[in-house]
């Protein structure tokens, strides 16, 4: 189940924040808009999410790889020490299920980490606000944890960026 929150920007204008399918649907009408770049970000990580807005007949169909592609499962190699395999084999679930549970648990813990939240906001702002006045000082304030100074610098920015910074939790 999709739990991450995403935000779409058209230039410096925030279009929508929410679940990825909702964000894509709301942003779709702006995919050919000349008002600025249409960018979608994962709020948890700050990574930009690329969306193929148009399908062309020239692009080859993706080849299914190993794993369970319909479920989004990708098979790769994991190298562990023998003691790690012994521990995994002693678990009630199979090794793959146990590893998935451990990774999900670590991801949940990391998502609540205030330092990771600052890093995610920083990644988004580097892309969306990098050319705004006072960005470097705002960035310093962000990583120093000085929310008041960050908000003061961001207040001079265009579009919805001041509100986006203010509302970031």
Residue 14 lies in a domain: yes
28 phi/psi in degrees, rounded to 5: -50, -45
pLDDT score for 3: 61
What total of structural domains would you count in the chain? 1
Residue 158 lies in a domain: yes
Residue 50 has pLDDT above 80, yes or no: yes
Residue 74 lies in a domain: no
Can you name the residues that pair with 6 across neighbouring β-strands?
18, 42
Residue 66 has pLDDT above 50, yes or no: yes
The band of 63, judged by pLDDT with boundaries at 50, 70 and 90, is low
* CA Rg value for the chain: 20
Residue range 93-118, pLDDT digits in tens: 888 889 989 998 888 887 778 888 88
Residue 126 lies in a domain: yes
Residue 6 has pLDDT above 80, yes or no: yes
Residue 105 lies in a domain: no
The answer for 161, left when phi > 0, alpha when psi is -120 to 50, beta otherwise, is alpha
Residue 84 lies in a domain: no
Residue 149: domain span: 6-52+113-167
On the 0-12 / 13-18 / 19+ scale of CB atoms within 10 A, 68 is exposed
pLDDT score for 2: 47
pLDDT score for 21: 93
Residue 92 lies in a domain: no
Residue 71 has pLDDT above 70, yes or no: no
Question: How would DSSP label each residue in 107-130?
Answer: HHHHHT-HHHHHHHHHHHHHHHST
Mean pLDDT of the 34-44 span? 86
| Lookup: tokens for 125 | 């702002």
Cβ-count burial 122-133 (b if 16+ within 10 Å, e if not): ebbbeebbeebe
Mean pLDDT of the 2-6 span? 74
- Can you give the pTM of this predicted structure? 0.68
Residue 136 lies in a domain: yes
């Amino acid at each position: 189940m999709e739990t991450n929150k995403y935000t779409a920007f058209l230039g410096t204008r925030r279009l929508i924040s929410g679940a990825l399918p909702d964000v894509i649907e709301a942003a779709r009408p702006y995919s050919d808009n000349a008002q600025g770049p249409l960018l979608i970000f994962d709020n948890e990580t700050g990574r930009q999410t690329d969306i193929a807005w148009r399908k062309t007949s020239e692009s080859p169909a993706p080849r299914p790889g190993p794993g369970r592609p319909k479920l989004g499962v990708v098979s790769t190699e994991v190298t562990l020490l023998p003691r790690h395999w012994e521990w995994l084999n002693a678990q009630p679930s199979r090794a793959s299920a146990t590893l998935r549970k451990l990774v999900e648990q670590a991801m949940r813990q990391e998502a609540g980490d205030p330092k990771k939240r600052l890093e995610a906001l920083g990644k988004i702002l580097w892309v969306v606000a990098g050319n705004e006045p006072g960005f470097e000082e705002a960035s310093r304030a962000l990583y120093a944890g000085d929310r008041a100074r960050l908000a003061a610098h961001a207040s001079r920015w265009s579009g919805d960026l001041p509100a986006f910074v203010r509302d970031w939790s």
